[in-house]
C-alpha cells in the first residue's frame, strides 16, 4: 500500500517536472499550430488538387475528354513533384515562396511548402477515387445531355464522395506527418516542440507527449472522416 503511494507521488512529481520546461499552454499552442498548419494546407491543396485530379481522370483513356498527351504531361509533372523529398522540395521552391508569401521561413511559408507538396498527392488520390465511379452512370448522364462540367459536379464528385472523404483522412495524416519539418524553418507545432525540447534538450517526455497528441489528432480526423463517409454513403442499405 505504502509503496504504491510513494510510487504515485513520485510519478506526480515527475509529471510536474515535465511541465516546468514545457507548460500545458505550450502544448496547447503547439497543438493548435499543428492543426492550423495542416488544415489550411490541406484546404488550399484541395482547391488545386481537385481540378488537377479531375483533369488527370478526364484526360485518361475512354473518359470524358481523353487526351493522351495532356494526360502524360500532367502525369509526369505530378510524379516528379511526388518523387522529390519534401525537405529538398522545400529548399528548391524557396524563391517561389518569397514571391508568393513574401518570406521563406515561418508558418506562412511553411503552409506554402506543404501545399505545393500535397497538391500532386491529392490529385492522385482524387483521380483514384473518380476511377471508382461506374462508367455506366457517366454514360447515362451523357445520354441525358449533360455536359462535362455538369457531369463532374453532379455525377462524378457526388458519386465518389465516400471514397473522397476516406481519401481526405489519408491526406490529412500524410500532411500532418510533414509538419515537424516546420522546425527547420522556424515554424511552430507539436513536431517543432518534440524536436526542440525532446531531441535537442534531452527531454524525451516532451517528445512522447507531442507524439501522443499527434496520434490523437490523426485518430480524431480518421474517425471523423470515416464516420462521415459511412454516414453519407447511400450504397449501404439500412
Partner 1 sequence: MTNEIIRIENLNKTFLAKDKKIVALNNINLSIRRGEIFGIIGLSGAGKSTLVRCINYLEEPTEGSVIFEEKNLGKLKKKELLKARRSMAMIFQNFNLLSQRNALQNVCFPMEIAGVPKAEAKKRAEELLNVVGLSDRMTSYPSQMSGGQKQRVAIARALSTNPSVLLCDEATSALDPNTTAQILELLKKINQELGITIVIITHEMKVIESICNRVAVIDDSHIVELGEVKDVFLHPKSKIARQLIFPHGDAASQKFESGKRSLRLVFDGTTAFEPVISQLTLECRAMVNIVAANTKTVHGKPVGQMVIQLPSDRDAVNRIMVYLIDKGIKFEEVTEA
CB of 231 to partner 1, least distance (A): 12
CA dist., res. 50 & res. 148, Å (int): 15
| Binding of partner 1 by 65 (CB under 8 A) | no
CA dist., res. 179 & res. 187, Å (int): 9
- Positions in 151-170 near partner 1 (CB under 8 A): 154-155, 158-159, 161
Residue pair 165/229 in contact by the 8 Å Cβ criterion: yes
- Positions in 193-232 near partner 1 (CB under 8 A): 232
Cell, residue 173: 495524416
| Binding of partner 1 by 149 (CB under 8 A) | no
Residue of 37, 64, 141, 193 interacting with partner 1 (CB under 8 A)? 141
The dihedral through the CA atoms of 142, 131, 121, 231 has a sign that is: positive
Residue pair 31/188 in contact by the 8 Å Cβ criterion: no
Q: Which of 123, 141, 133 is nearest to 54 (CA)?
A: 123
* Helix, coil or strand: residue 234: coil
- Positions in 168-197 near partner 1 (CB under 8 A): none
| Binding of partner 1 by 137 (CB under 8 A) | yes
Residue of 147, 204, 230, 231 interacting with partner 1 (CB under 8 A)? 147
Residue recorded with cell 515537424: 180
CB of 159 to partner 1, least distance (A): 6
> Which is closer to partner 1, CB of 208 or CB of 227?
227
| Binding of partner 1 by 2 (CB under 8 A) | no
Contact positions vs partner 1 (CB under 8 A)? 134, 136-137, 139-147, 150, 154-155, 158-159, 161, 232-237
Amino acid at each position: 500500500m505504502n509503496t504504491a503511494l510513494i510510487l504515485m507521488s513520485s510519478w506526480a512529481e515527475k509529471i510536474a517536472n515535465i511541465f516546468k520546461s514545457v507548460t500545458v499552454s505550450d502544448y496547447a499552442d503547439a497543438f493548435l499550430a499543428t492543426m492550423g498548419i495542416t488544415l489550411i494546407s490541406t484546404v488550399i491543396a484541395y482547391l488545386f488538387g481537385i481540378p488537377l485530379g479531375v483533369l488527370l481522370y478526364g484526360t485518361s483513356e475512354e473518359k470524358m475528354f481523353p487526351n493522351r498527351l495532356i494526360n502524360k504531361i500532367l502525369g509526369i509533372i505530378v510524379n516528379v513533384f511526388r518523387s522529390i523529398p519534401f525537405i529538398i522540395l522545400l529548399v528548391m521552391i524557396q524563391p517561389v515562396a518569397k514571391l508568393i508569401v513574401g518570406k521563406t521561413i515561418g508558418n506562412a511559408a511553411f503552409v506554402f511548402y506543404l501545399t505545393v507538396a500535397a497538391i500532386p498527392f491529392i490529385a492522385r488520390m482524387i483521380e483514384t477515387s473518380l476511377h471508382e465511379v461506374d462508367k455506366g452512370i457517366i454514360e447515362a448522364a451523357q445520354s441525358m445531355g449533360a455536359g462535362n462540367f455538369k457531369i463532374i459536379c453532379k455525377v462524378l464528385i457526388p458519386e465518389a464522395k465516400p471514397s473522397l472523404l476516406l481519401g481526405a483522412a489519408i491526406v490529412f495524416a500524410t500532411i500532418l506527418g510533414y509538419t515537424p519539418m516546420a522546425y527547420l524553418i522556424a515554424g511552430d507545432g507539436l513536431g517543432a516542440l518534440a524536436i526542440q525540447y525532446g531531441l535537442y534538450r534531452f527531454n524525451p517526455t516532451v517528445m512522447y507527449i507531442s507524439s501522443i497528441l499527434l496520434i490523437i489528432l490523426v485518430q480524431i480526423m480518421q474517425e471523423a472522416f470515416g464516420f462521415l463517409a459511412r454516414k453519407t454513403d447511400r450504397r449501404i442499405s439500412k
